[in-house]
Amino acid sequence: MHAIHPLALFRLSVLGPLASREHFERGDLNRIIRELASHRYDIPSSKRVYLSEKTIERWYRLWKKGGVEALAPRPRRDRGQSKLTPAVQDAILAYKQENPKRSLDTLKMILEDRGLVARDEVKRSSIHRFLQQQGLSRPPATIVVTERRSFNARHAGDLWCGDVLHGPRLMIDGQMRKVYLVSLMDDASRLLTHSAFCLGETALEIEGVLKQALLKRGLPVKLVVDNGAAYRAKSLQSICARLEIRLIYCRPFDPESKGKLERFHRVFRQQFLTELNPNHIRSLADLNRRLWVWIETLYHHRVHRGLDGLSPLQRYQQDLLKIRPLGGFAQHLDDLFYHRLARQVRKDGTISYAGQFYEVPYELVGQRIQLVVDPHTQQPIRAESSEGKPLGGVTPLDRQANNQRTRQRPPSVQDVLPSPPTVTNVLEHALQKQTAKLVLPLKKKS
């Protein structure tokens, strides 16, 4: 005797008040079904807790006709068959064989864009089943489940997350270079405030992406980043402190703490990297142009399951009035992103930076100053005190020009001391002084 299917036993337990009745008065059947539909149930393999009246009635008819065995789930009659038309099947096979890494979402998008199917006519599950039948669908990777608390920021601009994704090696300006995708995402809307391919993953690249994000999307309240050395840079900490952005560090080796950005990286690999043709890339600008077109025209406009049917752009636009604008920071944004390096002024009035010597005002000799530098152009801007007070400009050292330059010299001793009295003869001068003392003043007549 074979075992009864657990789902059949559950359905029979729901039908208990109906199955125990041999006779119904007029209206009793519908009344009991309505009452059963109002109860909450722990439905196996489902998150739902209520059953519809039609479902309960259908189960009752099946039980009346075939007993508890009829309540067991039946295999699909079309199992092993696909409802996709032959033309669509051929297209799916062609697009998948052309690029085996193509995701289900990308295949669905291609079918719709090519006009082979209407928008949302074909489901991802239909494409997945067809690929499984053809042996072209890879089994899902094993996922280690860790207990976590899912959350969403309340408004756009409340929380941004930042991360770096290691990209492929491409021919950039005639050399094979590895590229890195530096991204900042708004947590509430999943919108990419800015993302760019860079040739490194240092604080300099992260700050460059942050600056562009601020110009486009305003100021976040919080910024969540990794605990790596690039994010621990004093320059990044200083920028966030001056812009009143709370900088928060994740636990080391914990990518799930930025789950939404990790999910974007998976979509990015499936829909962008798998479609990228390295033969078309000549420079970093070429690569970024393709990235920005994909983000602005495809990713930002795709409906997101976690946004109640909205796209990231639509969700972000709902909170435009709540986003903190740059305001007064806009006029000084470049200055806020300059780096400040401590330097000791030499006796010849010079300092060094990036292997070059620069002259500062000569009055600063021997003092310790801050050199303000544009890190992206490696161009010194000015000298500052430790309190941020401007101390003068900075000019490249030109030794040949200095050879013809008039120096500012300190005054000589003769210039400082008072000039001695001019006399023709020391004895005559002494005699004059002594004579002056002996001359009595004339008395006035009474």
For Cα atoms 158, 161, 164, give the angle at the middle one, nearest 5 degrees: 165
CATH code of the domain containing 351? 2.40.50
User: SS3 of 343, please?
Assistant: strand
The residue-averaged pLDDT of 49-75 equals: 87
Cα 166 to Cα 152, 202, 253, 325, distances in angstroms: 26, 13, 15, 32
What pLDDT does 255 receive?
53
Note whether 165 and 191 are same-domain residues: yes
Identify the DSSP state of 265: H
- The verdict on 180 and 308 lying in the same domain is yes
pLDDT category at 3 given cuts 50, 70, 90 is: low
269-279: average pLDDT: 92
Q: Say how far apart CA 374 and CA 183 lie, in whole Å.
A: 22
Question: Which pLDDT score is estimated for 136?
Answer: 78
| pLDDT the model gives residue 77 | 57
Same-domain pairing of 353 and 308: no
CB under 8 Å to 284, separation ≥6 — which residues? 172, 173, 179, 197, 198, 199
- Domain assignment present for residue 107? The answer is yes
- The 10s digit of each residue's pLDDT in 364-414 is 999 999 999 999 888 999 999 888 889 999 999 887 666 656 655 555 555
270 shares its domain with 219:
yes
The DSSP 8-state label assigned to residue 79 in this structure reads T
Q: Which residue has the tokens 């039948």?
A: 133
Question: How many structural domains is the chain composed of?
Answer: 4
Q: Which three-class secondary structure state does DSSP give residue 198?
A: strand
Residue 428 has pLDDT above 90, yes or no: no
- In this model, does residue 252 exceed pLDDT 60? no
| 184 and 315 together in one domain | yes
pLDDT at 420: 56
How far is the C-alpha of 360 from the C-alpha of 349, rounded, in Å?
A: 6
Most confident range, picked from 123-127, 165-169, 246-250 = 165-169
Overall average pLDDT of the 418-429 stretch: 60
Statement to judge: residues 310 and 274 lie in one domain? yes
Is 410 part of any domain?
A: no
CATH of the domain at 107: 1.10.10
Is residue 44 over pLDDT 60?
Answer: yes
Containing structural domain, residue 119: 86-133
Confidence of residue 200 (pLDDT cuts 50, 70, 90): very high
Which of 287, 322, 357 is the last residue in one of the domains? 322
Residue 357 has pLDDT above 50, yes or no: yes
**Assigned domain for 412 exists:** no
Please report the pLDDT score of residue 337 as a whole number: 93
Same domain, 278 and 199: yes
| Rounded average pLDDT over 95-123 | 86
Residues 6+ apart with CB under 8 A from 424: none
* pLDDT of 353 over the 80 cut: yes
Residue 293, both tokens: 């077109």
Residues 6+ apart with CB under 8 A from 82: 89, 126, 129, 130, 133
CB 204 within 8 A of CB 378: no
Within a domain: 333: no
Do residues 190 and 318 share a domain? yes
Q: Based on the fold, state whether residues 246 and 103 are members of the same structural domain.
A: no
Range of 34-38, 96-100, 101-105 with top mean pLDDT: 34-38
In this prediction, what percent of the chain has a pLDDT beyond 70? 83
Q: Are residues 97 and 183 in the same domain?
A: no
Least confident range of 203-212, 213-222, 253-262, 306-315: 253-262
The percent of residues in the chain predicted with pLDDT above 90, rounded, is: 41
Establish if 208 belongs to a structural domain: yes
Residues 250 and 351 in one domain: no
Is the per-residue pLDDT at 146 higher than 50? no
24 found inside a domain:
yes
Q: Band of the pLDDT at 434, cuts 50, 70, 90?
A: confident
Mapping DSSP onto H, E and C, the string for 395-407 reads: EECCHHHHHCCCC
Most confident of 74-83, 202-211, 247-256: 202-211
**Quick check: 160 and 213 in contact, CB under 8 A?**
yes
176, 39: one domain: no
Average pLDDT over residues 211-222: 95
> Would 1 be classed as within a structural domain?
no
pTM over 0.85: no
* Residue 314 predicted with pLDDT over 70: yes
424 within domain boundaries: no
Phi, psi for 314 (deg, rounded to 5): -65, -45
